[in-house]
Amino acid sequence: MIRPKFKFTYDEIRIIVLALVELKNQLIAEGRYTDAVDDLLLKFVD
């Protein structure tokens, strides 16, 4: 399977990470699982 590669600027990564953190906080408040968001955060932080 071919995985597309994307090039993000520092500002774009920052916005994506902040949005994912907000989503994670919302899921925690609702008592739902955050596994998928955690995986995405790890990919963007690395």
Asked, for residue 5, whether it belongs to a domain, the answer is no
Asked, for residue 31, whether it belongs to a domain, the answer is yes
Asked, for residue 28, whether it belongs to a domain, the answer is yes
Total domains present in the chain: 1
- What per-residue confidence (pLDDT) applies to 14? 93
Token couple for 2: 């071919």
Residues 1-46 pLDDT 10s: 677 788 889 999 999 999 999 999 999 999 999 999 999 999 888 7
Asked, for residue 2, whether it belongs to a domain, the answer is no
- What per-residue confidence (pLDDT) applies to 1? 67
Asked, for residue 1, whether it belongs to a domain, the answer is no
- What per-residue confidence (pLDDT) applies to 23? 96
Q: Say which residues have a Cβ less than 8 Å from residue 1's Cβ, sequence separation at least 6.
A: none
Query: Cα(33)–Cα(15) distance, rounded to whole angstroms?
Result: 22
- Domain with 39, as residue range(s), is 10-45
Side chain identity at residue 10, one-letter code: Y
Asked, for residue 37, whether it belongs to a domain, the answer is yes
- What per-residue confidence (pLDDT) applies to 12? 93
